[in-house]
């Protein structure tokens, strides 16, 4: 028997889900009351990374580059130069949409009017029924009054006039009560707050048909015209640009949200990779990329975000992809890494660059170089930029090297928000989120010399260790007698650097407190056309479309929040601090989180997310056509046998899904490798190779916008628990197989409790959706929804969204990485981009601690069973 564990968010849903019969008897239920430092070098300044002195916001200064405001002026916000014509034309088209108002003709007009009247009645009565007087407990109960009436009449006998008046009052109240029950005074919920009712389908068609790729392309052009690393002038200028566009679209409560966080920046003369011994081999790496643009515009220096500062020296040793297994292989060959500088290639069996460095550190290396091998992303795959889409010989992949699967967000404020003025701060020393040895990324042009210098040292490598760097005719591991390499990585480390998220919203009319959060990050390692500019440009177009709708009086049922995060490239800081700052609110009211990071780097639609959102996604993919294949995305998805993948790490959904329990989805059009995190990921690359014509940008905007409508504007929230329960069965099956592979026998680890909990979940999921089916049959096709039914539907929706909050182990978290609270999903501890299902058990299996694995299995089973039962009780 597993222990089921209530949590403090239970109070959100005191209303039991009624049977269908209960629901359609429009009697108000008694349970309706639920409604009721830091030194900054001149070098860094010269690069424009840190802003100027005479600071505003601790270093920020009104930007001197083209201001966001003037940049708006050149945007065709009037739409005049757009192929779709003017904004006026768009407005006319909106006006022509099917507004459900008196004015329709023939029979349908009568129907509409009747529908409107009854719907009007619904809202009023719903509002009435939701009124919960604060002093109610002090009023006499109905039974008490009825009991007292005979005595009151006797006591008041001498004054028949008073008694008559009292009787009349009771009669009037009774009549009013009858009218409430009859739904006569309802009004359409969508017409509350002055909103205008449009047929949801006409809204969907409008949104899909009016995304404008010309606008997206123009945003992309501006966004990529200067580098914009987190905490720098560039990212701030872009924050203003986004903010102005949010305001122009008349989003509500548009604002910048500041956090003061730990960031590092390279010093111009502070980095060095050189062979310093033997003298005949001395050589110095160029390190920097060539200039990406002929106009010699400023571009970001080469470095690793959150890398350790310092200068180290040691013999060079090649360790393939830098996985733990690769270092083990070296050890097995008698090659010690103690005091060595490891050189490893990107990608492969260890996809997470931070963990390559950690693995090197753990075997005693003093520094780590990570280079881009042409076999992975360069000329061996196809023409390099500027002839083709792949990484060039001088192209470098920058990137964060904080340990995102261990600590997320600002590594000096794990578990709390780095709000300005927050006094608490964790230490940089022995910080579980940081590596302790310096590292640097290199282009293969530089790595070539290092790899050549290893010839004759250590052992010839196994075939699968051979990379694609030309001119290295023999690949050797190196050993303690290898040439000595110096790695210098002196940087500016700023403990409280301001970063800015941009926020804005459209308030929903039915459940204004419940939010669908829609976001992308804005900071980039350099110009960032794909990562993340493609997502930012698409977000701005999505905001424009919703702005157009809202200017015409449309309002969603639930609130839509838009956000542009800063600091994603440094351990997803902006989004994580935002979540940490409003954790309770999100756990209660965050319905869904829709993330797009790289919107487009190719043409294959990919999505990962909570299985609860799969049905909503597939419905949308059914409505959107691939721009070139003349097939719906759904058809292509099915033909390729594609599936919704699990959420690991690597983008801004992590804090939402794994800490706040807000069901999340991440989407992208992906393709072959590209100059990821290089200054060659720029507008020219996107325009020529990534997405000529910006058609996939447009398609992503369509998918994103329709998904927002699916979740914010369907009366029944599109959450599918049967799909989820099926997925959980699979997670448990594969965990069982994994446990056995790792040597845990049934006597060591018995996962029966998890199998049982998965079945409890399935049973409850099926029961739960009976209500959706009944509602669809009775009302979904245009039937009349009574007040009581509407209230119960709303409660049903809230119940759906609360499910994942109930899957959080709020007071615990994963042993050893407690920021992660979700019992079903987390990034894999040793493969940060990949997902771990039931991570508490998996981590313990990996540590060969089967006692802990058993405890975790029982805990997860308890939490899952409780959450499943809460669906229906």
Ligand X SMILES: CC(=O)N[C@@H](CC(=O)O)C(=O)N[C@@H](CCC(=O)O)C(=O)O
Which residues would be at the binding site for ligand X (CB under 6 A)? Answer: 399-400, 402, 404, 531, 569-572, 597-598, 650-651, 668, 833
Give the shortest CB-670-to-ligand X separation in angstroms.
8
Classify residue 5 as exposed, middle or buried by CB count within 10 Å of its CB (0-12, 13-18, 19+).
middle
CB of 422 to ligand X, least distance (A): 21
As measured in angstroms, the least distance from the Cβ of 530 to ligand X is 8
| Nearest-approach distance from CB 268 to ligand X, in angstroms | 23
- For Cα atoms 560, 565, 570, give the angle at the middle one, nearest 5 degrees: 150
Q: What is the DSSP string of 751-790?
A: -HHHHHHHHHHHHHHHHHHHHHHHHIIIIITT----HHHH
In this complex, which beta carbon is closest to ligand X, that of residue 493 or of residue 597? 597
Burial category of 12 from C-beta neighbours within 10 Å (exposed 0-12, middle 13-18, buried 19 and up): middle
Q: Which of 698, 628, 549, 537 is nearest to 212 (CA)?
A: 698
Neighbouring C-beta atoms of residue 3, cutoff 10 Å: 11
In the complex with ligand X, which residue's Cβ is closer, 124 or 542?
Answer: 542
For Cα atoms 402, 407, 413, give the angle at the middle one, nearest 5 degrees.
100
| Least distance between ligand X and beta carbon 305 (Å) | 6
- Look at residues 647, 645, 642, 597 and name the one whose alpha carbon lies nearest to residue 621: 642
Q: Which is nearer to ligand X, 361 or 479 (CB)?
A: 361
Peptide bond into 121 cis (omega under 30): no
In the complex, minimum distance from the CB of residue 398 to ligand X, in angstroms, rounded to a whole number = 8
Tokens standing for residue 205: 């068609």
Question: What span, in angstroms and rounded, lies between the C-alpha atoms of 230 and 168?
Answer: 70
- For 781-861, strand residue ranges (E) read 825-828, 831-837
Pick the closer one to ligand X by CB: 595 or 625.
595
**675, 681 contact by CB (below 8 A):** yes
- Say if residues 42 and 793 touch (Cβ distance below 8 Å): no
CA distances in angstroms from 384 to 294, 328, 669, listed in the order given: 18, 34, 20
Smallest gap from Cβ 833 to ligand X, in A, equals 5
What is the residue whose two structure tokens read 């800015």?
Answer: 500
Q: Which is nearer to ligand X, 13 or 569 (CB)?
A: 569
Q: Phi then psi for 817, rounded to 5 degrees?
A: -145, 70
Instruction: Measure the CA dihedral 515/520/521/522, to 10°.
Output: -120
Q: Nearest approach, Cβ of 401 to ligand X (angstroms)?
A: 7
Distances (CA, A) of 40 to 52, 60, 262, 806: 10, 13, 13, 45
568 is annotated as an active-site residue: yes
Whose Cβ is closer to ligand X: residue 475's or residue 830's? 830
Shortest Å, Cβ 671 to ligand X: 12
Tokens representing residue 827 in the block:
């990034």
For residues 258 and 571, which CB has a smaller minimum distance to ligand X in the complex? 571
Q: Which is nearer to ligand X, 353 or 821 (CB)?
A: 353
User: What residue number has its CB nearest to ligand X?
Assistant: 400
Nearer to ligand X, 559 or 608 (CB): 608
Closest to 830 measured CA to CA, from 415, 403, 428, 407: 403
* For ligand X, the closer CB: 251 or 518: 518
Q: Which residues contact 483 (CB under 8 A, 6 or more apart)?
A: 275, 277, 278, 281, 315, 316, 453, 454, 457
Quote the least distance from Cβ 721 to ligand X, whole Å: 27
By beta-carbon proximity to ligand X, the closer residue of 550 and 651 is 651
Compute φ and ψ for 663, nearest 5 degrees. Answer: -55, 125
Is residue 188 within 8 A of residue 120, CB to CB? The reply is yes
User: Residue 700 CB, nearest distance to ligand X (Å)?
Assistant: 13
670 three-state secondary structure: strand
What is the rounded distance in angstroms from the CA atom of residue 277 to the CA atom of residue 300?
30
Q: In whole angstroms, give the CA distance from residue 1 to residue 382.
A: 58
Question: In the bound complex, what is the minimum distance in angstroms from residue 282's beta carbon to ligand X?
Answer: 33
CB of 601 to ligand X, least distance (A): 8
Residue 326 CA to residue 320 CA, distance in Å, equals 6
CB count within 10 Å of CB 231 equals: 29
In this structure, what are the phi and psi dihedrals at residue 152, rounded to the nearest 5 degrees?
-60, -45
Catalytic residue among 568, 785, 804, 858: 568
Q: Which is nearer to ligand X, 183 or 597 (CB)?
A: 597
CB 63 within 8 A of CB 236: yes
Q: Which H helix or E strand runs over 585?
A: helix 583-589
- Residues β-bridged to residue 400: 305
Phi, psi of 821 (to 5 degrees): -110, -20
User: Which pair of tokens denotes residue 646?
Assistant: 């699990």
DSSP 319: -
Residue 698 in 3-state DSSP? helix
H-helix segments, 224-323: 233-248
Are residues 410 and 339 in contact, defined by beta-carbon separation less than 8 angstroms? Answer: no
Cβ-based nearer residue to ligand X, 389 or 870: 389
Nearest Cα to Cα of residue 649 among 253, 344, 354: 354
What CA dihedral angle connects 305, 306, 311 and 312, to 10 degrees?
-100
Active-site positions?
A: 568
């Amino acid at each position: 028997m597993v222990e089921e564990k209530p949590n403090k968010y239970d109070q959100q849903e005191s209303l039991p889900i009624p049977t269908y019969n209960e629901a359609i008897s429009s009697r108000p239920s008694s349970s309706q009351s639920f409604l009721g430092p830091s030194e900054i070098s001149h070098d860094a300044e010269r690069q424009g990374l840190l802003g100027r002195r005479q600071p505003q916001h601790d270093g920020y200064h009104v930007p001197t580059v083209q201001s966001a405001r003037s940049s708006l002026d050149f945007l065709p916000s009037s739409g005049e130069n757009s192929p779709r014509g003017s904004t006026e034309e768009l407005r006319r088209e909106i006006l022509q949409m099917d507004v459900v108002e008196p004015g329709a003709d023939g029979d349908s007009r009568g129907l509409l009017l009747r529908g409107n009247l009854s719907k009007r009645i619904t809202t009023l009565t719903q509002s009435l029924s939701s009124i919960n007087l604060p002093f109610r407990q002090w009023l006499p109960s109905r039974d008490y009054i009825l009991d007292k009436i005979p005595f009151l009449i006797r006591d008041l006998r001498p004054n028949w006039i008073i008694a008559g008046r009292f009787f009349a009052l009771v009669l009037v109240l009774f009549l009013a009560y009858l009218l409430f029950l009859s739904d006569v005074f309802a009004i359409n919920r969508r017409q509350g707050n002055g909103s205008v009712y449009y047929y949801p389908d006409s809204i969907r068609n409008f949104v899909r048909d009016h995304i404008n790729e010309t606008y997206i392309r123009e945003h992309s052009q501006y966004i990529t015209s200067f580098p914009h690393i987190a905490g720098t002038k560039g990212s701030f200028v872009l924050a203003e640009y986004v903010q102005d566009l949010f305001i122009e679209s008349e989003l509500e409560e548009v604002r910048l949200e500041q956090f003061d966080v730990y960031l590092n920046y390279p010093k111009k003369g502070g980095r060095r990779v050189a062979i310093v011994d033997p003298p005949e081999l001395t050589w110095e790496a160029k390190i920097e990329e060539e200039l990406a643009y002929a106009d010699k515009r400023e571009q970001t220096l080469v470095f690793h975000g959150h890398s350790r500062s310092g200068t180290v020296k040691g013999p060079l040793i090649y360790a393939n992809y830098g996985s733990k297994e690769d270092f083990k292989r070296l050890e097995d060959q008698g090659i010690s890494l103690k005091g060595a500088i490891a050189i490893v290639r990107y990608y492969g069996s260890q996809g997470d660059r931070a963990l390559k460095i950690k693995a090197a550190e753990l075997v005693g290396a003093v520094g780590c170089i990570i280079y881009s091998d042409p076999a992975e992303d360069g000329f061996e795959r196809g023409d390099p930029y500027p002839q083709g889409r792949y990484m060039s010989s001088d192209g470098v992949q920058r990137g964060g090297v904080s340990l995102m699967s261990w600590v997320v967000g600002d590594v000096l404020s794990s578990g709390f928000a780095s709000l300005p003025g927050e006094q608490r701060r964790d230490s940089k020393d022995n910080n579980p989120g940081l590596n302790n040895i310096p590292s640097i990324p290199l282009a293969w042009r530089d790595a070539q010399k290092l790899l050549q210098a290893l010839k004759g040292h250590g052992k010839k490598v196994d075939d699968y260790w051979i990379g694609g760097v030309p001119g290295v005719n023999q690949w050797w591991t190196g050993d303690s007698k290898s040439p000595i390499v110096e790695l210098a990585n002196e940087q500016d480390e700023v403990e409280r650097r301001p970063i800015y998220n941009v926020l804005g919203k459209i308030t929903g009319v039915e459940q204004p407190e419940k939010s669908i959060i829609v976001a992308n990050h804005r900071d980039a390692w350099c110009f960032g056309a794909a990562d993340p500019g493609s997502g930012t440009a698409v977000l701005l177009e999505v905001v424009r479309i919703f702005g157009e709708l809202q200017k015409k009086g449309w309002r969603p049922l639930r609130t839509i929040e838009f956000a542009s995060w800063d600091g994603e490239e440094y351990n997803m800081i902006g989004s994580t601090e935002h979540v940490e700052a409003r954790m309770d609110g999100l756990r209660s009211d965050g319905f869904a989180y829709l993330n797009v990071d790289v919107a487009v780097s190719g043409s294959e639609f990919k999505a990962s997310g909570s299985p609860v959102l799969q049905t909503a996604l597939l419905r949308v993919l059914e409505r959107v056509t691939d721009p070139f294949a003349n097939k719906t995305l759904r058809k292509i998805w099915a033909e390729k046998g594609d599936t919704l993948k699990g959420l690991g790490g690597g983008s801004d959904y992590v804090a939402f899904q794994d800490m706040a329990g807000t069901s999340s989805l991440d989407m992208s059009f992906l393709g072959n490798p590209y100059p990821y995190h290089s200054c060659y990921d720029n507008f020219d690359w996107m325009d020529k190779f990534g997405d000529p014509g910006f058609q996939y940008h447009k398609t992503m905007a369509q998918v994103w916008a329709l998904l927002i409508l699916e979740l914010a504007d369907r009366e029944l929230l599109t959450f599918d628990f049967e799909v989820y329960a099926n997925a959980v069965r699979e997670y448990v099956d594969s965990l069982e197989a994994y446990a056995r592979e790792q040597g845990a026998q049934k006597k060591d680890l018995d996962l029966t409790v998890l199998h049982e909990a998965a079945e409890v979940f399935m049973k409850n999921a099926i029961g739960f959706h009976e209500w959706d089916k009944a509602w669809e049959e009775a009302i979904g096709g245009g039937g009349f929804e009574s007040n009581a039914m509407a209230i119960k539907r709303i409660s049903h929706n809230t119940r759906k969204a609360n499910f994942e909050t109930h899957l959080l182990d709020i007071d615990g978290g994963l042993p050893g990485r407690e920021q992660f609270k979700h019992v079903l999903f987390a990034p894999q501890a040793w493969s940060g981009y990949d997902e771990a299902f039931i991570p508490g058990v998996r981590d313990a299996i990996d540590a060969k601690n089967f006692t802990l694995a058993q405890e975790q299995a029982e805990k997860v089973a308890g939490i899952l069973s409780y959450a499943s039962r809460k669906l229906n009780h």
